[in-house]
Every structure is written in C-alpha cells, then in structure tokens.
C-alpha cells in the first residue's frame, strides 16, 4: 500500500486574492501532511512544539513582530499555524495582520471548541472555512471495503499492516482522551467520559436515549448532552437529525442519531472485528461508512446539503434523506435485495415523492424496481460512490 504521504488528497483550497482560511479536522486525518504538500514554501508555526507553544502563549505579539519582518517573497505564500486552538489569543494578532499587512493564513486545528467557548476572535468572516476528512473512496486505489469497515479510513490506520493498525487505533483513543479532553480541560470527569465512549460504541447509529446513557455512565442527562457536544466540537462525530416534513404518517421528529467520524474508532471501542461482509454488525458498519462518504462529499465539494434519516413511529425507516427530500437512500449489506426489504423506502417514496430512491448494496449489477409506478434503483456500492463523487447523486 502507499504511504500517507503518497496519497493524493482531493480537497482543493481556494486561497486566490490572498484569502485566509480555517482548516478543521480530527486528529490524524492528514491535515498537516496535506498542507505541507500544497504549500511547501509556507512559513509554518506548529503549536504541538512545546517550546514554540510556550513562547507564543506567554507573548502572542511575537507572532505579529515576526511576520511583519518577513520579506515580500515569503508573504506570497500563506502562513500556516497548526493547532491554532491551543493559543486563542493568536487570533487577535492574525486579525491585525490580515487588516494591516500582506500576510494571509491557513489556521489549522482539531477543535474549535476552545475558541468558540472562550469567545475567541474567529476573524468575523475574514477567513474561509474548510473541513478535512479521513480518506475517501476516490483517493484509494484498489479500495478494500472489508478493511475499511474494520480499521476505518484514517490514513495511518488504513495504510498500515494489520498488527500495527490495531496498536494505532487503541493509541488513538487513549491519546484523544489524554490530549484532547484532559489537556484541553474539556471535561473534569474523565472516567465518566471514558464510560460514555464505551456506551456510545454500542448505541452508535441508533436513536439517542439520553436518560439511558446517563444511567449507564453514572452522570446526569445534561452532562451526557455536553459529552455529545464535546465529540461534535472536536470533530469526532456528527448528529444526524430526523427528516420532519410530516404529511400522513406519524414520524419521529425530535430524536437524533449520532455517528462517530470513523468506522474504525467504533470497532475499537466496541472490540469488534468483522470477518466478512455479512450480518447485522457488518450492515451497521456499511451504513456508517456510506454516511461518512456522504458527509465528506458534502464538505469537500462544498455542497452543504442536509443529511437526515426518516423513521415513523410504527418502525418504517429510511437510512438517509439527502437535501430537502430530494434523494432517499437505503443501505443494505446484501447481494440480493428484494422488494420486501424496502418497505420503509417504498412508504417514503409514496408519501414524499423524492427525485431519486436508491438502494446501495453488494449486488453485482444495477437494476430498477417499479413499485406503484415509482422507480427504485438498486446500485452496487462502488458504482454509487463513483456517481456520488462525480456529482450525479445530488
């Protein structure tokens, strides 16, 4: 396999006219490697370097003094500040430099939580916002679906040998707890937060029951809600909200689902390994993976369409509703999809008339079902992902 450095990432940052930008992404998604490859001549401040971090923490104005002393040649390229959330006061200096010099910046980090909750200067619209993701389907030659569902798509995890990957995944979770949560002071009760992660590994992708999770973690419901927000703010997970355009059937309209940002993290927390692309656990992982491709596509291509789910109180469900009900998408880890497997999709189609009703599955060839004069397309997963990244799904 290729090394993470050799993988060509498909994100494009448009910094024409010397625009500054925030680049957010979970740890080890490859942000720093990407920026080094795209902007090799840029001056870089890496706040993971303890001496640099302490120097700028004590005297943030040094950043301004150093940058205004740079030559015009150096200022042709963006100044990169990595892990910018570690020293929020630097953003005041960045703001001044954007307004009063020719400098422009890429401000890179794994969490905006400390900045938002500390009322930090977020530059008032003077910087574009980009989000970086784990590897996606078009970036990987000879994509191995079973491997992706087991170890996830963080570059080091997917591209390492199996023994190394297991160690890296466990280290990732341990390091996150110590570096992101404890070091940044995001929660005072680290043992309870660790229990919360364990509980979430088993209720991942299900309707959230805050009371049950709180009981299992030994904390109150509001604390659990705060824990979820920590995961969202540190880019380690996403809420998927219910589609609530009610017409006939009574639907669930207020209870979200939650998904971690990477399939491998869930498997490591729950201590599960998939032996094949079969069964309920593989089905959940496959659904999770397809969601991550949808989220990454919307982010990288700057499409900004909502991704929701639909579920009635009688149990009919569609995995994902894209846009304003334009696309209804069901995910099945099966090479034989029958009409009887699609009751939820058929019901949604009859009621909401989406432009497309799709089933992503392991079928060898695409085919179409006609149900009550409505068309449902059953697509092999590779073909679906190719169409998605070509912009043909939404």
Kindly provide the b/e burial profile for residues 190-200, where b requires at least 16 CB atoms within 10 angstroms of the residue's own CB. Answer: eebbbbbbebb
Q: What angle do CA 51, 53, 57 make, to 5 degrees?
A: 120
> DSSP letters of 2-59?
--TTT---------GGG-EEEEE--TTSSHHHHHHHH-TTS-EEETTSHHHHHHHHH-
How long, in residues, is the chain? 394
List domains and CATH numbers for the chain. 16-131 (3.40.50.300)
Overall average pLDDT of the 150-161 stretch: 93
**pLDDT tens per residue across span 76-133:** 999 999 999 889 899 999 999 999 999 999 999 887 776 665 445 567 667 889 999 9
Residue bearing the bigger pLDDT, 103 or 191: 103
Question: For residue 335, what are the CA distances in angstroms to 344, 358, 359, 362?
Answer: 19, 15, 11, 4
Q: What is the pLDDT of residue 114?
A: 63
**Hunting for tokens 């001056």 — which residue is that?**
43
Tell me which residue of 227, 243, 238 sits closest to 344, measured CA to CA. 243
Structure token pair of residue 213: 């999770």
How far apart are alpha carbons 299 and 313 in whole angstroms? 31
**pLDDT tens per residue across span 279-317:** 999 999 999 999 999 999 999 999 989 999 999 999 999
Structure token pair of residue 301: 């291509």
Q: What is the pLDDT of residue 4?
A: 61
């Amino acid at each position: 396999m290729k090394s993470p450095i050799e993988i060509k990432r498909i994100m494009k940052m448009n910094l024409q006219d010397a625009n500054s930008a925030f680049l957010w992404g979970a740890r080890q998604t490859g942000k720093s490697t990407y920026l080094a490859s795209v902007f090799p001549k840029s001056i870089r401040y890496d706040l993971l370097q303890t001496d640099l971090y302490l120097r700028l923490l004590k005297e943030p104005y040094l950043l301004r003094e150093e940058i205004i002393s740079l030559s015009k040649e150096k200022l042709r390229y963006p100044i990169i500040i990595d892990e910018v959330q570690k020293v929020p006061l630097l953003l005041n200096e960045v703001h001044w430099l954007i307004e009063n010099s020719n400098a422009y910046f890429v401000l890179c980090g794994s969490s905006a939580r400390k900045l938002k909750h500390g009322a930090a200067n977020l530059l008032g619209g003077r910087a574009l916002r980009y989000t970086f993701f784990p590897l996606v389907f078009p970036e990987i030659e000879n994509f191995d679906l079973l491997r992706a569902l087991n170890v996830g798509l963080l570059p080091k995890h997917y591209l390492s040998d199996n023994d190394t990957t297991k160690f890296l995944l466990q280290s990732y979770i341990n390091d996150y707890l110590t570096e992101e949560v404890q070091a940044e002071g995001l929660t005072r009760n680290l043992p309870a937060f660790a229990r919360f992660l364990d509980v979430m590994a088993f209720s991942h992708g299900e309707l959230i029951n805050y009371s049950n999770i709180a009981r299992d973690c030994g904390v109150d419901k509001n604390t659990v809600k705060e824990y979820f927000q920590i995961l969202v703010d540190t880019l380690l997970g996403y809420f998927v909200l219910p589609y609530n355009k009610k017409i006939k059937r009574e639907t669930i309209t207020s209870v979200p689902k939650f998904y971690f940002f990477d399939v491998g993290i869930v498997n490591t927390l729950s201590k599960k390994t998939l032996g094949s692309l079969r069964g309920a656990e593989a089905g959940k992982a496959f659904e999770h993976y397809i969601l991550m491709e949808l989220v990454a596509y919307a982010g990288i291509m700057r499409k900004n369409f909502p991704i929701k789910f639909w579920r009635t109180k009688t149990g009919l469900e569609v995995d994902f509703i894209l846009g304003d009900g334009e696309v209804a998408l069901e995910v099945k880890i099966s090479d034989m999809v029958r009409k009887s497997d699609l009751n939820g999709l058929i019901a949604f189609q009859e009621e909401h008339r989406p432009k497309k009703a799709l089933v992503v599955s392991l079928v060898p060839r695409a085919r179409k079902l006609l149900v009550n004069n409505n068309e449902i397309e059953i697509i092999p997963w590779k073909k679906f992902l190719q169409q998605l990244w070509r912009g043909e799904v939404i």
